[in-house]
Amino acid sequence: MTKRAYKERLYPTPEQTELLAQSFGCARFVWNNTLAYRTTAYQQQGESVSHSTAEKRLVSLKADYPWLKDVSSVILQQTLRDQKTAFDNFFNPKLKARYPRFKKKDGRQSIRLTRAAFRYRDGEITIAKAKTPLLIRWSRPLPSEPSSITISRDRAGRYFISCLCDFVPEAFPVTPKTVGIDLGLSDLFITSDGAKSGNPRHLKRYDAKLARLQRRLAKKQKGSRNRQKLRQKVARLHAKIADCRRDAIHKASRTLINENQVICVESLNITGMVKNRSLGKAISDAGWGEFVRQLEYKAAWAGRQLVKVSQWYPSSKLCHGCGHKVEKLPLSQRHWHCEGCGVAIDRDINAANNIRTAGLAGFACGATGAGAAA
């Protein structure tokens, strides 16, 4: 048994919208105030504020700001727990997380509630301080009662609710098929079978419209009503692009998981690659990180194996047929002839075959991590 989040669209009533706005504001205030206190304490006294100290300080915050009592205390407590997790991730060298940042009023808003702050009955959820159940457009029934819920509002003004439930994954029937995957930009991924997925380039598709809206937004007076309206249009377009990208990646990853028992991919340093001024935008638009993340958790649920091959493995420079390695292979060269066997080679398909071979070799030796073929 594992935990799985089910995200659904939420349509709050005017009264619930007001309550949620108040809850978002209180959670944002507690986060920013506590983060400023932690930062100042470390910079001036060199002290690290513990989570227990932050929780005790919350009592004095409620005394100084009585309006914090108008929302459920669970929301504020969970905000402090989330900040503790953010600092734990920051101090973990393996995660390479950034220092926690202050939350903005016009950014994405979210609150998290445990069972003490909401009631789930007959498929309806009622949060603390609300008089009526939330209007949720359920796409599927929940497998169990939620242990916690997260209510969020994106920059486009849409509300969502994410329910964390107990989930029992069912393993798929074993299949002898295995595949290697090479990630790319002309195609999102190329398989060792020679299949190329293509790349819809969602951002490029709406690039002209997005640029036009952003130029109009830059000319609006700050704080004006028209600027707020135009900002919403830009946010809705960004949300549409993100939804299209996420939908395409979900479909592609699900197809690969359904058809293959072992999937071999290359572990790329995507954080470093997006800093490339020429390719960073295209890499971000492709969504490599999200694609691999979905393959990882879907493989675990389906009883499949995802093998990551080291990024330093020269998959593109090695001939899959004879093993000959070329010294230099610029990124612009998509085809080359092997000097060892004289075969014409497609760079991407060749890399996918090499990744599959190296991944299966590492998997046979029991290595399934990022250094499977280091």
Report which DSSP code applies to 152. Answer: E
**Three-class SS state of 206:** coil
Identity of the residue numbered 136? I
Amino acid letter, 320: H
Which has the closest alpha carbon to 126: 78, 161, 82? 161
Both tokens of 247, joined, read 């939908």
End-to-end alpha carbon distance in the chain: 33
Question: From the candidates 266, 285, 296, 339, which is the catalytic residue?
Answer: 266
266 is catalytic: yes
Pick the catalytic residue: 166, 182, 207, 296? Answer: 182
Looking at residue 66, the DSSP 8-state letter turns out to be G
User: Smallest Cα–Cα separation from 182: which of 122, 303, 241, 264?
Assistant: 264
Q: Are 304 and 315 in contact (CB under 8 A)?
A: no
Alpha-carbon distance of 128 to 69, in angstroms, equals 12
Residue the block writes with tokens 């929940």 = 142
Number of Cβ within a 10 Å radius of residue 77: 17
Cα 366 to Cα 165: distance, rounded to the nearest angstrom: 32
Marked catalytic residue, from 55, 88, 259, 348: 348
CA–CA separation, 308 and 177 (whole Å)? 17
187 given a catalytic annotation = no
Distance between CA 55 and CA 231 in Å, rounded? 36
Q: Do residues 231 and 149 touch, judged by C-beta distance below 8 A?
A: no
Rounded to whole angstroms, what are the CA distances from 325 to 45, 143, 309, 318, 332? 57, 52, 18, 4, 18
Phi-psi region of 323 (alpha: psi -120 to 50; beta: other; left: phi over 0): left
Residues carrying an active site annotation? 182, 266, 348
